[in-house]
Amino acid sequence: MKVTWDIFCTVVDNYGDIGVTWRLARQLVAEHDLAVRLWVDDLNAFVPMCPGADAAAAQQWQEGVDVRAWPAAWQPVQPAEVVIGAFACQLPAQYIDAMRALATPPLWLNLDYLSAEDWVEGCHGLPSPQPNGLRKVFFFPGFTDKTGGLLREASLLARRDALQQSAQARTAFLQGLGVQVQDEAQLISLFAYENPHLGAWLDALATDTCATHLLVPRGRILDDLGKWLGEPGLKVGDLHQRGALTVQILPFVSQDDYDRLLWCCDFNAVRGEDSFVRAQWAGRPMLWHIYVQEENAHWEKLDAFLGHYRQGLSDDAAQALMALWRAWNMGNDMGQAWQGARKHWAELQQHAHDWAARQAARPDLAKALVQFYRNSL
């Protein structure tokens, strides 16, 4: 019999929560031969990243995962042997009661948000006894050996290398999205939250000496982009040129195609958690739009990651990289920061590839979760 796992996901206001849990669920099935139920409270957020999914289905099978609608009126089910509450979501009270009624309670894990802050290492794996007698364990993804690692499928980097090393495969994939890249143009992807400082970066790209083709999957940045272009109501397929900059609006693609898009680009601007991790695996220079928190608490999280990521860079390149990320997230001059980063382009390219290789030398998140369960028996 396969070991059973339940993963609970509450969709907040973006795609990060469902993006992470869907990747995890299908990897646990594909690589570890587990029986996984993924409970999602808003399947409308699931459909865009899993073509063919049905937002109205109470139960459906997608890539071997038993995807369930998480109903407001919970119906009793047998708890799994491993239960994951993603990102501190609250499990149904009836489900918790059912866990407690078992002779051998499940392993209950709280899969937390990704952070590079120092305190994460001390909290990873800590038990949290509950008033009802159950025990919940904190499990933190991360960038060091004392955390749970990052989501990474076994074949991911091999598939990345195959695409990046084949001009023909790269061209065919982009053409499938309707993208015709000019010769010598740098390719940049942009997936971000709303950002009033976008215009300064676009001005720099439009007046640059090299051509840029900016690929923008449909999302929350489109209003700001439309204001800069003077073209409100941007839609998929739109193509605009301003100076050296060509802007193209793409559809919201599946997770696998988004990976390929990142691999094809020379630079990736990403947001949140899921796309942030996938951009790192692309091995290309990147820019992270971190999710805004109250009292600018996200700035500490941003600097904590940069403290790790900058290791191995020359002082000048590290300062230029940090200036770019802070400008994007803190409202500084993006045009000046972009030009500063471009001076160190070759070093930043090599560093991005090396960073991905170093992270890949550690166990991935799915493998770490499975091993944690086995050690708990």
Q: In terms of Cα–Cα distance, which of 202, 286, 198, 191 is closest to 246?
A: 202
Give strand pairing partners of 267. 188
Strands annotated E in the chain:
4-9, 35-40, 59-62, 65-69, 82-86, 107-111, 127-129, 135-139, 186-190, 212-217, 239-242, 245-250, 267-271, 286-289
Q: Which amino acid does the sequence have at 366?
A: A
Q: Edge to edge, what strands does the sheet with 212-217 contain?
A: 239-242, 245-250, 212-217, 186-190, 267-271, 286-289
Using alpha carbons, list the distances in angstroms from residue 87 to 112, 175, 230, 313, 342: 5, 37, 39, 32, 36
Q: Where in the sequence numbering do the catalytic residues fall?
A: 17, 273
- Long-range pairs of 227-233 with CB within 8 A, sequence gap ≥ 24: 227/199, 228/198, 228/199, 228/202
Strands annotated E in 47-139:
59-62, 65-69, 82-86, 107-111, 127-129, 135-139
Residue with tokens 């010769």: 183
Rounded to an integer, what is the distance from CA 82 to the centroid of its chain? 24
Q: Kindly give, in sequence order, each residue whose CB lies less than 8 Å from that of residue 111, ignoring residues fewer than 6 positions away.
A: 24, 84, 85, 86, 87, 139, 141, 369
Residue with tokens 């990320």: 325
Q: How many CB atoms lie within 10 A of CB 1?
A: 5
